[in-house]
A and B are shown apart, each in its own frame.
Chain A
Amino acid sequence: MEVSVNVNGEDVTREIEPRLLLVHFLRDHLQLTGTHWGCDTSNCGTCVVWMDEEPVKSCTVLAAMAGGHRVRTVEDLEQDGELDPVQEGFIQEHGLQCGFCTPGMLMTARALLDRNPDPTEHEIREAISGQICRCTGYSMIVRSIQWAAQHESAVSLEPSTAGSAS
């Protein structure tokens, strides 16, 4: 079957099997490999992307179901060479180690802050509770999202200076 999806602002049309999962559509057909796959049961959340403005687990969505919708992935967070505050927050507060769960965490964090610019620690923990990280123990992810919340209003962010002291 043919499916047309707006992915990261671009309309794409592909011939697909009806059973194709959105995560595999993004990764294998569009080479958007920032979205990861980590379990068979929609528990881990490494595959979180947005469908329209909603975070969804893309292993639980058929590519066909995304037809006619807007899908946003981690590759779209950086705009015009400027990192999204959640991306910068994860760098500044060491919110990632292996980086495998990170794209999903970033997409959830962005969605949370769009709805709730000043979340409490518990609200942040609840927002990411459908996702698993094996490396960080979550505290630094929480701090990263708090960093982003505090820096959302910054007019222009300094470019990331990873590899330098802070």
Chain B
Amino acid sequence: MTVTDEPQAADAAEERPIGFGRLLRKEDPRLIRGKGNFTDDIQLPGMLHLAILRSPMAHARIVSIDKSAAEAHPKVVAVITGEDLAAQGLAWMPTLSNDVQAVLATDKVRFQHQEVAFVVAEDRYSARDALELIDVDYEYLDPVIDVRKAMDADAPLIRDDLEGKADNHIFNFQTGDAAETDAVFAKADVVVSEEIVYPRVHPAPMETCGAVADVDSISGKLTLYCTTQAPHAHRTVYALVAGLPEHKIRIVAPDIGGGFGNKVPIYPGYVCAIVASLVIGKPVKWMEDRTENLVSTGFARDYIMQTDIAATNEGKILAVRTNVLADHGAFNGTAAPVKYPAGFFGVFTGSYDLEAAHCNMEAVYTNKAPGGVAYACSFRITEAVYCVERIVDALAYELNMDSAELRMKNLIKPDQFPYETKTGWIYDSGDYEPALRKAMDMAGYEELRREQAEKRERGELMGIGVCFFTEAVGAGPRKDMDILGLGMADGCELRIHPTGKAVVRLSVKTQGQGHETTFAQIIAEETGIPPEDIDVVHGDTDNTPFGLGTYGSRSTPVSGAAAALVARKVVDKAQIIASGMLEVSVADLEWKKGSFAVKGDPTKSVTIQDIAMKAHGAGDLPEGLEGGLEAQICYNPENLTYPFGAYICVVDIDPGTGEVKVRRFIAVDDCGTQINPMIIEGQVHGGLADGVGMALMEMIAFDEDGNCLGGSLMDYLIPTALETPDWETGHTVTPSPHHPIGAKGIGESATVGSPPAVVNAVIDALKPFGIRHADMPLTPSRVWEAMQGTATPPI
């Protein structure tokens, strides 16, 4: 069921679908025929296959590596170890957080499944066979697995490679005012505290990570076909790291089978493939298997959040504070703007009008895989929203107040926007109450509460979970935000061909979000050229302008703005050409989507297609005007955009087994102006399934020796069609005031907003047991333990 605000028929009557509206996707015809072109589909003449040997231990010194047997394998072309790379100065690479990470371990391994050596062979099976022939002698070292012990005085030192490093500390991050917050807490009627754990999870896109490196031995040019969400950022990093001239690097991101943040970082495997192709002079393919993807590439979350909330007896929330212990794994591989080591966790004040807030965070190394920012988290907003929405529910429990009513009482009011939070974020626009009301109406909230009361009488466990979230997306203004010194702006280039067809070139890259459709719609909305006449080029650094790529829901807020503005530049030029064609002044023309007409005489008009031909054709153009009809832009966002939403989840729990069944899920999202409601709904659905997964099933766990217990899809459980309900979605529209088309971004809203809704529903169901909090994932055994009062934190 989908509820929309306004009937779509009104749109259909006009010149829709030119521009915004429901439009079938341009991507689909190739993908439903099996004619997509994913990285592993690429087969180049003479291509070799690379496989990586990984450490069986979480922390161990490498005593020796004997690769002679592997080298003797008849189909093996090369076997490379960390020492071999070190000889070329390539054993270490920088991470996106200004740390370094081993490409192949030289001194010791620091997490289980860390990269130790690689084999290049004639086929993928032989490469795997040869891994078995490499003999590595390890000396066991005590690992740091329990993050709470990482800063103990006797904790083993993980990063002895860093000069002067004496402990496992990475950074301290503070935001808000500690003294002011403490003062507000001191005067509060009610203070509620909970330790809230957001366990380590993994984005696990259906396509694993991989690359095909192809170095042209004559020109020296590297072409890297790669599963990357940020091809331009990757190119520049390779140039800076490996010393390859940037113009001799071409990154091609072909079709990508889901990203969710997993395909932002540069992984050792990519570097290994490049090195192999450089050394051997042939194309080399590396594709992870599923285990490698789960155990070594960018994980997400892993925050322990000791959180307090202060309120009056009447339920006015006064302040929130949290002490966070962040597990970053063995290398700080977090992808976040440099000034934001904790990403945008600072929005943990949520959607509420507070008097004070403070966060203190310690980030530490452990002997686990690196990562941290991934899984559609909008730079740690998943953690922030979970933190505040969980503690607000704990407050509702303590005050014995309805959780929706408590939220309604504290939401920021429309006239307070732009709203500056106590941690310094400026929410651009919002109208929160109608969104929550709408979700409650769609859910039939009062009726659900009545049903729940009846069921409780009978001993049945039914829960209703509410979440209201505000996101901060579209990183970001270059005055504040950069990654490795690269400003987070995005370019866009638009060319109108002589016959009025167009090509738009983007710096961002779809991993399934439908950019080939939505960006054509933005250009169509602005120029009046039908979307089917607009080709969207992306994912190839040789053929697109520079920009930082697709993650943190930034494509529409940043690149979408660039697309709208580049189109306006083209239309501005078209207006000058039209004035010459119609022999009137520019001021005497008016724009009707797709044509300029003389004011007061609509019979005198020229279409954008006529103008395009004139721009490229014979005859004079207005004085001082160059021929052609094209423009380029680099868009620097003024602020982030702040999408929001109200979610309600209804669950039933089997009291005998603790099994949670998600009966209904109602999601009302506000992402500002909607470009394509069908694609928006799809984005929301996917994120909601993620939320059910994280809340109930997904966790990357470790045993005390650092063995990863979530290394396959048998152990790392992802929801199927049977664990997920038929989603009920709706929307409100509150445009962003600073975005040229008012759009805010939607890619991660549901992943951010749904886990607290599901968990709040489960805890609500367990209220008769006196349970105020339990940690994800709420598997049957964890729920059952909670009911018995024997639950322990998941880490």
* Residues of A in contact with B (beta carbons under 8 Å apart): 17, 19-20, 24, 27-28, 31-41, 43-44, 46, 73-75, 77-78, 83, 87, 90-92, 94, 96-103, 106, 121, 124-126, 128-142, 160-166
Contacts and interface: CB of A to CB of B under 8 A. Distances in A.
A66 B532 CA distance: 42
Interface residues of B, number: 69
Given A19-B125, A102-B32, A44 B206 contact: yes
Given A135-B258, A136-B682, A163 B727 contact: no
B32 A98 contact: no
Contacts of B27: 99
B36 interface: yes
Interface string B240-283: 00000000000000011110100000000000000000000000
11 contacts: A32-B34, A34-B34, A40-B290, A83-B32, A90-B28, A98-B206, A98-B258, A101-B206, A102-B31, A133-B206, A139-B724
A148 to B, nearest CB: 11
Contacts of A126: 721-722
Interface string B17-59: 1000111111111011111101011010000000000000000
B532 A163 contact: yes
A41 B713 contact: yes
Interface string B709-720: 000111000101
A134 B205 contact: yes
Contacts of A163: 23-26, 517, 520, 531-532
Nearest to B715: A41
Interface string B190-215: 00000000000001111110000000
B712 A99 contact: no
B686 A134 contact: yes
B720 A164 contact: no
B593 interface: no
B405 interface: no
A85 to B, nearest CB: 11
B555 interface: no
A94 B681 contact: yes
Nearest to A38: B206
Interface of B: 12, 16-17, 21-29, 31-36, 38, 40-41, 43, 123-125, 203-208, 255-258, 260, 289-291, 511-514, 517, 520, 531-532, 678-679, 681-690, 712-714, 718, 720-722, 724, 726-727
A123 to B, nearest CB: 11
A27 B679 CA distance: 30
Contacts of A142: 721, 726
Q: Label chain B's interface by main secondary structure.
A: loop
A27 B29 CA distance: 20
Given A40-B290, A41-B713, A43-B714, A100 B727 contact: no
Given A34-B33, A39-B712, A74-B33, A99 B255 contact: yes
Given A39-B713, A98-B258, A125-B722, A136 B34 contact: no
Contacts of A162: 24-26, 28-29
Nearest to B42: A33
Given A40-B290, A78-B33, A97 B513 contact: yes
> Closest 5 CB pairs between A and B?
A34-B34, A98-B512, A100-B257, A99-B31, A137-B685
Nearest to A121: B726
Contacts of B207: 36, 38, 98, 100
Given A41-B290, A135-B682, A98 B24 contact: no
Contacts of A132: 206, 713, 718, 720
B24 A165 contact: yes
A138 B31 contact: no
A99 B517 CA distance: 14
A103 B34 contact: yes
Nearest to A74: B34
A137 B35 contact: no
Given A34-B34, A103-B34, A43 B514 contact: no
A110 to B, nearest CB: 12
B258 A91 contact: no
Contacts of B255: 98-99
Contacts of B257: 36, 38, 98-100
A137 B688 contact: yes
A134 B31 contact: no
B38 A36 contact: yes
Contacts of A135: 258, 512, 682, 686
Contacts of A92: 24
B7 to A, nearest CB: 15
Contact of A128 (B17, B678, B721): B721
Contact of B514 (A37, A97, A160): A97
Given A91-B25, A166-B22, 19 more contacts: A33-B38, A41-B290, A43-B714, A44-B713, A46-B206, A75-B33, A94-B679, A94-B682, A98-B205, A98-B257, A106-B32, A135-B686, A138-B724, A162-B28, A163-B24, A163-B532, A165-B16, A165-B21, A165-B24
A85 B374 CA distance: 36
Contacts of B29: 91, 160, 162
A94 B682 CA distance: 7
A39 B31 contact: no
A20 B124 CA distance: 11
Nearest to B722: A129
A96 B686 CA distance: 10
Nearest to B291: A40
Nearest to A159: B29
Contacts of A24: 124
B28 A75 contact: no
A166 to B, nearest CB: 6
Nearest to B716: A43
Contacts of B25: 91, 94, 162-163
B206 A134 contact: yes
A101 to B, nearest CB: 5
A97 B512 contact: yes
A13 B482 CA distance: 55
B206 A161 contact: no
